[in-house]
Amino acid sequence: MTHSASAMPLESRASGPLNGRVRVPGDKSISHRALILGALSVGESRISGLLEGEDVLNTAKAMRALGAKVERRGDFVWKVDGVGVGGFAQPHNALDFGNSGTGCRLVMGAVAGCPITAVFDGDASLRSRPMRRILDPLELMGARTGETGEGGRLPVTLSGARYPVPITYRTPVASAQIKSAVLLAGLSAPGVTTVIEQEASRDHTELMLKHFGADIVSAREGTHGRRITLTGEPELHGADIVVPADPSSAAFPIVAALIVEGSDIALSDVMTNPLRTGLFTTLREMGASIEEGEVRGDAGEPMAQLRVRASRLRGVEVPPERAPSMIDEYLVLAVAAAFAEGTTIMRGLRELRVKESDRLAATADMLRVNGVEAEIAGDDLIVEGRGHVPGGGLVGTHMDHRIAMSALVMGLAADKPVKVDDTAFIATSFPDFIPMMRALGAELS
């Protein structure tokens, strides 16, 4: 999905206490996977709570282009009739994933196990992101890469393998996207495909594959890692999925409530999978009041209600091994760190450089234009918290939804308003962000 040339700027201002209960949209990672696994299953899958953001809608379109029947049945309720493992049809046009690395990379894995050729494309942000990390293991499994952009970037033509080979693959970085691409290709391979990660990344693909009937086992590897073994050629059966609320989206109202004095908010059904909740751990270490209600689960994914109250925060050191469990949350953590008292050091953030934008540079810029001292030292980010933020800056979004939302959160408690140059990309992951924040009491205009 492409955005119109006219940018949508917005300003946020110091707001009264935030109050109320909200349910942020469905988890983006789970929404992509539900559509893809539904499409690779035999029979019908019913997904409720699907994130209807642009990223996920692009994956839905891709599944249709590859032969699955995908229908919207009501608000956030979708039905998928799958083609079975290895059953994707040759698409007639390029698959356009817009801004979404997850959609693009996971579907590359799924296509690699089918005897078809597909062209993968995306917007300027996605065209700038590395794809070799996905293509390398898929080639080892028998897929062939045709034409690509510079350095293996999009647009990429990928031909899947007629007889995929199961492999044992050690991921070079902790990335659920690499792991998932190999596992999805491995579905079509006879025998056992193994992925070894030195540091565990989010395990939604593994949990959901099990839910759809695959034989998949995850064991500890070393101190922080995992070894995942998948038996190929399973028959996946359509299944029902309830998508929990996205903790990465919940992060924005959570940090907003912590920094706006007097706030007290509740968030329903937030996913609490421990491989996604590094931000909550870190915020609690900083002194945040985040209470978790009773935990319930669906398809192996836990969720709970969270109550968040404004809190006095202090700077902390965030260890590098926590990065995979909060990789998308450093931008908004940096906002919390700016309002804290003392220095926050976030270690091991190399992967932030290859997200929707160079988030390491963008985070430092976002803080500096608003009067906060921030330094990048190697792969670490150091933020000097002074208990308040001067604000008054204009933040560049760089086609990155999370920069826009983080900067707007910052403005809610800054001394002077904070402006972002373009809010259009918020629609990729959190289409109702602005009305939802306003309903809680945020001043955005």
Site residues (vs ligand S3P, CB under 6 A): 29, 102, 175-177, 180, 201-202, 327-328, 351
- Cβ closer to ligand S3P: 29 or 45? 29
Transcribe 242-265 into DSSP letters: EPPBPHHHHHHHHHHHHHSTT-EE
Q: Please identify which residue in the block is written with the tokens 């709970």.
A: 304
Distance, first Cα to last Cα, the chain = 25
Residue 212, judged by CB atoms within 10 A of its CB (0-12, 13-18, 19+), counts as buried
CB of 48 to ligand S3P, least distance (A): 19
CB-based contact 147:121 (threshold 8 Å): no
Which residue in 121, 203, 269, 328 is the catalytic one? 328
Transcribe 167-181 into DSSP letters: -EEE-SS--HHHHHH
Q: Alpha helices, DSSP H only, in 113-240?
A: 124-127, 132-140, 176-186, 204-211
Residue 328 annotated as catalytic: yes
- Cβ closer to ligand S3P: 187 or 413? 187
> Partners of 194 in the beta sheet?
168, 229
- Cβ closer to ligand S3P: 156 or 176? 176
CB of 126 to ligand S3P, least distance (A): 12
CB of 321 to ligand S3P, least distance (A): 14
CB of 29 to ligand S3P, least distance (A): 3
CB-based contact 305:293 (threshold 8 Å): yes
- Cβ closer to ligand S3P: 134 or 313? 134
> Partners of 26 in the beta sheet?
245
- State whether the Cα torsion 383-388-393-395 is positive or negative: positive
**Nearest one of 60, 58, 71 to 36, comparing CA atoms:** 60
CB of 352 to ligand S3P, least distance (A): 9
> Partners of 252 in the beta sheet?
none
In the bound state, the residue with its beta carbon closest to ligand S3P is: 29
- Cβ closer to ligand S3P: 241 or 266? 241
How far apart, in whole angstroms, are the C-alpha atoms of residue 358 and residue 337? 19
How far apart, in whole angstroms, are the C-alpha atoms of residue 257 and residue 410? 11
User: What SS3 state is found at 271?
Assistant: strand
And the tokens for 358? 């160079």
CB of 106 to ligand S3P, least distance (A): 7
- Cβ closer to ligand S3P: 118 or 208? 208
Residues classed as catalytic: 328
